[in-house]
Amino acid sequence: MRILDRYFIRMFVFALIFSLFGVWLTALIVDLVEHIDTFIDKHASAFSVIKYYLFWSPYMIGLTIPVAVLLACIFSVGQLARHNELLAIKTAGISLYRILLPLLTLSIAISFLTMAFGEIVVPVANKRKGEIRSFEIGREIKEKNILRRNVFVQGEDGRIFYLGDYNIKTKTGNGVLVQRITKNRLEEQIEAKKMSWKENGWLFENGRERIFSDSLTQPQGEEYRTFGKLFRADMKVKPEAFAERPKDPEEMGYFELAQYVKIRKSAGAEISRELTDLNSKISYPLINFIIVLFGAPIAANPRRSGMAVGVALTLFIAFCSYVVIKGALILGYNGTLSPALAAWSANILFAILGTILLIKAKK
């Protein structure tokens, strides 16, 4: 059985690499055709365009890998069915469940690798892609947009700043929330209507300061005071940090986005969109496993195992998946569905359908 497992895994991996390259190339061509007028109008250099698509690729790979996994699944399982190899293996007393076990195991590994890829590589690449698009291709001046809204900055000293808005020119912010976190414990929180940069520190106005303690000598665990003005020179975050282009959720990893959501929630801001995106950072990579659970039983039917049928099935399933996922996310963004349900509804639906198909498949 180990020989069959290796044979099946090798076939699937080869099909996955080929499919992933094909899907990536198709997406690249479509995106290039869609934006070529912009590149020409902005007189973007070929080098800038190449750099843009270099940093665009990680996000697109993470986005389209479920399609590539589905293609690889249908082609590899379909080839076994088309050549009657699947029938011969089942005749030898090996069930379809056991045949698909290495494929399902591999799809779980791909899901977790995609999750790690989305946490480590994609946010960095997306940030660089956005900078190239704005400042090299778009030829924007970095401080052209003087007013930043919903600014989130994380300092090296463990302090996290959330501002409703920040004026780059005057170096002032409104709707301020600052938290100092050490070893996952909130130690200090400053809320202020306004903050401004004064030579070598930040001046906070009209707010309150809370210092939290786990000391037994302070049963309340908190020191609280209001202030008209509070000057702090010990904060390492400089005005330049607030002038940087604000990050999108796509430019944050799971843990950074979770912290951002927590800060916005503390500030009383609307977080439906960000919370939906946070949940989808876990749910979307797991589609790689669920799509195999759904596609493998269909591909195992020899009457549906031709190349043209396989491509058609993949496109149909991918389209249905996209409609369900995108529709649910939109409902999550506007608050119609809870963020968790919006992010996980497609997974739940296709997991149920896949389980039913697998149970009903000829063993």
What digits encode the pLDDT tens for the residues 238-263?
A: 898 888 777 788 888 999 899 888 87
Specify the length of the chain in residues: 363
- What is the average pLDDT across 185-212? 92
What count of other Cβ atoms lies within 10 Å of the Cβ of residue 218?
12
Which residues are paired to 167 by β-bridges?
A: 147, 172
What digits encode the pLDDT tens for the residues 289-301?
A: 999 988 888 887 7
What digits encode the pLDDT tens for the residues 81-126?
A: 777 777 788 777 788 888 888 899 999 999 999 999 999 999 999 9
CA–CA separation, 268 and 175 (whole Å): 10
Least confident of 36-50, 149-163, 164-178, 184-198: 149-163
Q: What is the DSSP string of 123-187?
A: HHHHHHHHHIIIIIIS---TTSS-EEEEEEEE-TTSEEEEEEEEETTTTEEEEEEEEEEETTEEE
Give me the residue spans of the domains in the chain: 2-127+277-360, 145-244
First to last CA, the chain: 17
What digits encode the pLDDT tens for the residues 118-168?
A: 999 999 999 899 888 877 887 655 555 688 888 888 876 778 899 999 998
Residue 3's contacts (CB-CB under 8 Å, 6 or more residues apart) are: none
**Mean pLDDT of all residues belonging to the chain:** 86
**Closest of 171, 344, 325, 136 to residue 241, by C-alpha:** 171
**Closest of 184, 157, 162, 186 to residue 175, by C-alpha:** 162
